[in-house]
Amino acid sequence: MENTNTITTTKQKRVFSGLKPTGQLTIGNYIGAIKNMIELQKDNDCFYSVVDMHSITIDIEPAILRKNSLDMLALFLACGINPDKSTVFIQSHVKEHAELTWILNCHTMMGEARRMIQFREKSKENKQNVNVGLFDYPVLMAADILLYQADLVPIGKDQKQHLELARNLATRFNNKYSPTFTVPDGVFNKTGAKVFSLLEPKSKMGKTGDNPNGIVFLLDNKDDIMRKFKKCVTDSETEIKAKTTKPGISNLLTIYSQFKNVTIKEAEKEFAGFSYADFKLSAGECVADFLGKIQKEYKRIINDKAYLESIMKTGAEKARLSAYRTLDKVKKKIGFIV
């Protein structure tokens, strides 16, 4: 399923998505996932999680993980995820994720897990710490989605292969026992399913490991944002047009159009005749203004520890109820005495 800005669904669907608090959130996360998460909550029953269990597949300082998790929760809310409409929770508060992962592990073939591109990439980046968790990560992600019987999963393009595994596992389990899991569909942003680094416009804008000057973080201040946009890599031409031969300009047009809520064509028209330098400034200004409002809200929320605590508590209670229901069914089907 693809969308631009409006998603129309006939009946309320179950939605699940998660973001891992390995590093700070970026505009790639915002455009690729969070925008659709916000849009979908209008008409659907959504579960949104800070998936901290995924973060320990790489080495991470406990204090940093704790800070990132709280920051992410506050940023979810600051971006517009409404805890009165959606269930917002921390993954490790719901033990069913780990339990279902074990059961799904026993239905996942080594060969199919080995084919996961992200595992191969991450194990190359992290040669000293290729742990079993890193290998098993996509199965945990499948458990996240299947526990909540999600119909829809808003994600960026880099998660497509993992979602495919979740779909395969659901179908395999349903065929082996009897219908148990909903087979989920991905929801992708039509133009922004993959946002690229400002410095290497053919590589994904990541959270960690890459050159931070190519990444715009949601909590970057205006000076840093403007500096990053000014230094953004483009090409030797002059035309502001999205083309495969112009990855830098195409990426900037994507970013601008997503923050301005206009189409690429409209953005091209608006900047016809502009110099690259002026376009970079306008794109930077637009992003900085947008993020400035989110940051103001974030500052208010992150300082209200009692509020964050109450969101986490309520979210975990609601999530547990749903997760327990699925896990109980699964356990009965595979022959566990429950």
Mind telling me the catalytic residues? 122, 204, 207
Q: Which is nearer to ligand TYM, 161 or 274 (CB)?
A: 161
From 30-38, 257-265, 272-280, 321-329, give the range in contact with ligand TYM by CB under 6 A.
Answer: 30-38
Shortest distance (Å) from residue 273 CB to ligand TYM: 29
From 155-163, 226-234, 245-253, 262-270, give the range in contact with ligand TYM by CB under 6 A.
Answer: 155-163
Torsion (CA) 217, 220, 222, 226 in degrees, nearest 10: -50
Q: Which is nearer to ligand TYM, 54 or 280 (CB)?
A: 54
> What is the x/- site pattern for ligand TYM, positions 39-58, by CB under 6 A?
------------x--x----
User: Which of 52, 26, 60 lies closest to 219, judged by CA?
Assistant: 26
Task: Please give the Cα distance from 248 to 214 (Å, whole number).
Answer: 11
Coil vs helix vs strand at 198 = coil
The C-alpha angle 267, 273, 274, rounded to 5 degrees, equals 75
Max Cα separation, the chain? 71
Of residues 7, 17, 89, 282, which one binds ligand TYM by CB under 6 A? 17
Shortest distance (Å) from residue 308 CB to ligand TYM: 20
> What is the x/- site pattern for ligand TYM, positions 56-95, by CB under 6 A?
----------------------------------------
Q: Which is nearer to ligand TYM, 205 or 288 (CB)?
A: 205
Of residues 159, 182, 234, 251, which one binds ligand TYM by CB under 6 A? 159
The C-alpha angle 51, 102, 188, rounded to 5 degrees, equals 40
**Beta carbons of 105 and 136 less than 8 angstroms apart:** yes
**Beta carbons of 4 and 191 less than 8 angstroms apart:** yes
**Beta carbons of 166 and 158 less than 8 angstroms apart:** no
**Beta carbons of 157 and 35 less than 8 angstroms apart:** no
Of residues 74, 153, 219, 294, which one binds ligand TYM by CB under 6 A? 153
From 149-157, 255-263, 286-294, 304-312, give the range in contact with ligand TYM by CB under 6 A.
Answer: 149-157
Shortest distance (Å) from residue 203 CB to ligand TYM: 9
Task: Please compute Rg for the chain using Cα positions.
Answer: 20
Contacts of 281 (CB under 8 A, 6+ apart): 226, 229, 230
- The binding site for ligand TYM (CB under 6 A) comprises 16-20, 28-29, 31-33, 51, 54, 141, 144-145, 153, 155-156, 158-159, 162, 193-195, 204-205
